[in-house]
Amino acid sequence: MKHWTMVVFAALCGIAGSAVAQEWPTRPVKLIVPYPAGGGVDVMARALAQRLQDKWQQPVTIDNRPGANTLIGTEAVARSTDNHTLLFTTDATFTINPNLYTKLPYDTEKDFSPVTQLVAFNQMLVANASLPANNLKELLALAKAKPGSLSYASYGPGSQPQLATEMLKQKSGVFIVHIPYRGVPQALMAAVSGEVQLTWSGLVSARAHMASKRIKPLAYGGKTRDSAYPDVPTMTELGFPEVDAHVWMGVFAPSSFAPALVNRMHRDLLAVISEPDFRSKEIEGKSFDFVGAGPDEFGRHIRSESRSRRSTLKTSGAVIE
């Protein structure tokens, strides 16, 4: 009897969850982005929000909550209870921060449900135009000749630029000073203005500055060269396959969202990013790679990548109490 009661209860919950999924959203949806406005993550989030408004027939607003290595915006979503607040973030939030911080104000596994991994991309190592080095070999020679004279920008301890550069420093035996900034746009502008000599950037953010010759590319973080910059060699080609500069973007919901609703959101998001116009303009047009992974696949990817990043962080020595 107890068994059948449980079966009936589960069935009723499933029906209720499906009903909620069909009716949602019933009011405006907030997409929290834990990065400053103007960067590649923010640009993608806003493009996505425009399309989702048409599909969901509700306003979809972007709420930028930068700071503390994405912790501020991420915690806001973890603590939300309105069932209409989502998180749009990068791999740093779920595969770097849990291994970087000894304590987080939320549990990335218990407080969130992965919805979909939308896109992935690789970053470019770029230098201020005035730097007397035009490739990685010349950069490393300069750094060895003048230890501590060069500096690089990141968007915080444990961020992708810091991890990639610290790994490069360790493998090449050079010393380059780390200067953390508040966010991606600020770190990039520091290199553009000459406050620092180097940083890593996604192509969507760096392209205009490279076109205007204010910064120059030295190396690409992907395993194969980017088609838009075929003359820029990869870190693997240059003898540093350990230097990992890949990033992904994805959508997460608080764990209170019913599984049926999470699956519904994945289908809607996949439909949007699969639209030919959106793919050509917002994905291929910005050197992003289409992914579209669903909740289960995305969750497995996060767990696997988190284990890999744990090793990288240990090597870099980056830990925040």
Q: Any idea what the CATH number is for the domain that residue 113 is in?
A: 3.40.190.150
In a domain, 225, yes or no: no
Domains of the chain: total:
2
pLDDT tens profile 193-214 = 999 999 999 988 899 999 999 9
Same domain, 28 and 80: yes
Domain that holds residue 288: 2-120+248-316
The Cα angle at residue 59 between residues 56 and 65, in degrees rounded to 5: 115
Name the pTM for this structure. 0.83
The pair of structure tokens assigned to 317 is 């020595």
Omega before 66 within 30 of 0, i.e. cis: no
Same domain, 211 and 275: no
Same domain, 282 and 133: no
pLDDT tens profile 116-166 = 999 999 999 999 999 999 999 999 999 999 999 999 999 888 888 988 998
| pLDDT value, residue 102 | 87
In a domain, 239, yes or no: no
Same domain, 88 and 146: no
* Beta strands per DSSP E along the chain: 29-33, 60-64, 85-90, 112-128, 151-154, 177-180, 198-202, 215-220, 246-254, 289-293
